[in-house]
Each structure stands twice: as C-alpha cells, then as structure tokens.
Amino acid sequence: MQKYDFSKIKVLIVGDVMLDQYLWGNVGRISPEAPVPVVNITETRMVPGGAANVANNVASLEGEVMLLGLIGADINGQQLKSLLTERSIKHDLITSGKPTISKIRIIGNKQQMIRLDYEETTPPDADLTDALINKINTHINNYDIVVLSDYNKGTCTPEICRHLITSAKSNNIPVIIDPKGKNWDKYRGATLVTPNMKELNDLTEMEIMNDDTSLEKHLPDLFIKLGFENLLITRSEKGMSLFDGQALEHFPTMAREVYDVSGAGDTVIAALTLGIASGYSLRDAVEFANIAAGIVVGKIGTVPIQKSDLYRDLHLSYNKIISPDDIKTVNESLKKENKKIVFTNGCFDILHIGHVKYLEKAKELGDILILGLNTDNSVRRLKGEDRPVNKEDDRAAVLAGLSSVDYIVKFDDDTPLNLIKSIKPDFLVKGGDYTIENVIGGEFAGQVVLIDFVEGYSTSRIIKKLRNSND
C-alpha cells in the first residue's frame, strides 16, 4: 500500500449537503405521560452530514476539497457553513428557498432512540439549477477528481448529473458516484459507482441476496446495462465487491466491532476518491476504503476518518510498530486532533510485571503512548555483547500486545534524543531511578514525569536468577 499523503489532492464534491445533530443522554425511566423512555440530555453535537460529511472525511485525511450544494436561508444553513469553515473545508453553497436538510438523532445510553428529519426533497427550479451548473463550470477545472454525493434529496437532478459527468470526462477528470433512487441513467459514463445492497435492489427491483454467488450471477448483466466503468458494491458486514467489467473481486469487512454505520458510506467515498486521485490501483483504493470504513463503524455517530486511525490499522506486521519517518506523520495527525501524547523508551529485553505496570501508568497521563525501543545494536552498546536476550522484532511484537502501548518506534542511537525532538511529546516518562534534571530530551517535552518501578522486578535480576539456576 502507498504512503498516505493526500495534501496535494484536490477534490470537487457536488451533492446533498446536510447538518447532522446529535443529542446524547442517559435513560433512567419511562415517561409518565406516554410509554416512551425519558432521555436526560448531557451533550449536544453538530457535524456536517451527507455530501458535507464526504467533504469532512476528505479534509480529515488532509485532502483539499471544494463543496457545492444547496442550503436554506436559516440558522441550520449558517451553522453548517460555520462548521465547514472551522474544518478548513472550502465551500460555495447556494441559498435556496427550501430549509437546510437536517437530521437530529437522540441517543440514550449509547443507543439511537429516534431520528428527526427536516427536509423538502423537491428538485431545484431552473434558476437554482443554472446557478449550480455555473458553480460547477467555475470550479471543475481546478480539481483532480469529482464526487457526486446523491442522497435523493433533490440536488442531484438528471440535468445536474449529466452536466457534471460530461464536463469532467471532457477534461479527463474521474467521477465517483454515491447513488440513490431508481434513475441511474443520469450516472452513465461515471468512472466508479458505489451502491450498497439496498440501493442495488431498489434499482433492479429484484432481491439480489447479499452473498458472493448471487452477485456473481447478476452483476455482469447489470454492469453492461448501466454503462459504468467500474461498480463497487458495499455489503455491510460482508465487506465490498468490485466489478471492473472483467472480474468480480470480494473484500471481506475490516470492522472489528460495529457500533454505528452512520456516515460509513461517506468515508468509503472519501477514501476511494483520495486513493484513485493519488494513483493507487483501483484494487488498492478499494482495500484502503474498506479499512477506513471498518474504523468508522466502530464509533458512534457521523464521525470522519482520522489519519492517525488509518496508520494504526494500515500498517502490516503488527499495526503498532512503525518507522521513525511514519511516526512523524502520525504525530502531526495526533496533534491536529488535540491528542495528549506520552513518550517513554527502553530496551524491554525480558518483559515482566514491572514493565507492564510502568507502561499502564504512563498511558494514564494522556491519550496516546509512543514507546521508543532500542534496536539490538543499541542494546549491545549499552548493556554488553550478551544482550539483548530477545531480538528487537520479538521484543516489539510482545510490547505490541499490550493495550497501553499505541505505537512502537525502534531507534538505533544510544539515546532517544532525536526521536523525542521529532515527537515533542506532552509527557516524557522515565523510571523513578532518574531525576528530572538528567532525563535526556526533557527540554523538548511539555512535562517530564518520573514513575517508580515495581519493587523487586528488573530484567537484570531475572537474567542473573536464570544464570544462577543453570550453574
């Protein structure tokens, strides 16, 4: 898989923009007025939804985005524009006579209780259509790839869709479609269309089962009929299936546990778009999007994918073990997310309860614990030719199994000074045998913290005991 630097990718998104509102609370009783739960609201949150959530996902992955669509002359429209501006999402939205599409979700005890929708789904009139077409003409040549995010709320009329696809293709710009409804003729000629199973069945008015055999039977004929270059079916817990006109390939889901599928399709579109525009093969772009979707469904609410989450899930050979170059990128993303970063280091040659307790206490100081691990060469210079007992890959793999450790970075120097200087952690942690003054790299950390070791445990003591038992 390629590097994940999308900072130079420019994405134009056109579609149904929305405002998603979440009211979080606790449920402790049933209302005396009606047989319904009473939710005591403790938190409210507003986030971009629909096409605006696609833009939010692109921006979270550090791509540049321009969002086009319709809003109402109301407070929800102003709130949405403010949210987009806060996230550095460029937008050129047109004010219409309809209300801003809004969804309010009430969540009690981490379970969605009810959803309230505000919308009018009539298509835009001729003046609004002309205005949106003019916006497309103004921006399209400045972008690498185009996304049409159709939620069947009225914005993506056949006229708008045909104009967008024709304009993009005439400029050799790929077009990715998130479809809705039964009129897919308006998407003809798109580079990639990404329906879920329900959308596929709505279109065909058939009941194609969510299994490999059924898709293999129906997709070839459907593909020829629709006239797309590629078709990607998102299949919920079954993952995804890609058909390129020649072969059908299945991608099992990457989700560990599903809490909420809200916005997962938007994450798929954003990741696919950035991957394709970056030059990934279509297969690699789908794998990338599949992993991204697996992350966001493990969170509650419409949540954009974060770059640091991707790094944690995309790295092969123990997800937590990454290179010094990659930790720089991860660190930048973590800081943008306002995560408190804790750093510690050591040889961790023979892992024991003292190490485990020490690392648990270190993690409690912040959100993310980065562990600098001495390489074998570094350990030999510090401890002697008979050390380490365990090789660096084995030591890293064992440490990766600890829930307290988020990232492991090997370093070959005698000290982690360069690593600390690069990371600039909020907390630099060392053992209680140090003093604040002699902790290397302390000047590059927000705070130096000393944690006492568990009495009676040390690697040297374990090695000595083992040697004595063999004498």
Domain covering 324-470 in this structure, CATH number = 3.40.50.620
* List of residues 6+ apart from 331 with CB closer than 8 A: 341, 370, 422, 423, 424
How large a percentage of the chain has pLDDT more than 70? 88
What does pLDDT average to over the chain?
87
pLDDT at 307: 65
pLDDT at 296 over 80: no
pLDDT at 234 over 90: no
| Percent of the chain with pLDDT strictly greater than 90 | 59
> Quick one: pLDDT band at residue 236, thresholds 50, 70, 90?
confident
Sign of CA pseudo-dihedral 340, 346, 347, 349: negative
Report the candidate in 352, 241, 285 with the shortest Cα–Cα distance to residue 2.
Answer: 285
Listed in order, the ranges of the chain carrying CATH 3.40.50.620 are 324-470
CATH of 10-18+48-98+119-314 among 3.40.50.1000, 3.40.1190.20, 1.10.443.10, 1.20.140.10: 3.40.1190.20
- Looking at residue 221, its pLDDT comes to 76
The distance of Cα 6 from the centroid of its chain, to the nearest Å, equals 13
Distance (Å, whole) CA 3 – CA 240: 22
Residue extent(s) of CATH 3.40.1190.20 domains in the chain: 10-18+48-98+119-314
Mean pLDDT of 208-223: 83
pLDDT band at 377 (very low <50, low <70, confident <90, very high): very high
Dist. CA 383–CA 406, nearest whole Å: 26
Q: Which residue has the higher pLDDT, 452 or 453?
A: 452
| Alpha-carbon gap, residue 311 to 62, rounded angstroms | 14
Stretch 324-352: mean pLDDT? 88
Residue 297: pLDDT band (50, 70, 90) is: low
Reading phi first (left if > 0) and then psi (alpha if -120 to 50, else beta), residue 267 is in alpha
Which residue numbers are catalytic?
A: 266
pLDDT, greater one: 277 or 200: 277
pLDDT of residue 9: 95
Which helix (H) or strand (E) covers residue 12, if one does? strand 10-15
Contact 367, 394 (CB under 8 A): no
CB 419, CB 411: distance < 8 Å: yes
Residue 461 reports pLDDT greater than 80: no
Q: Evaluate if residue 295 carries a pLDDT over 90.
A: no
62-76, 145-159, 226-240, 419-433: the lowest-pLDDT one: 226-240
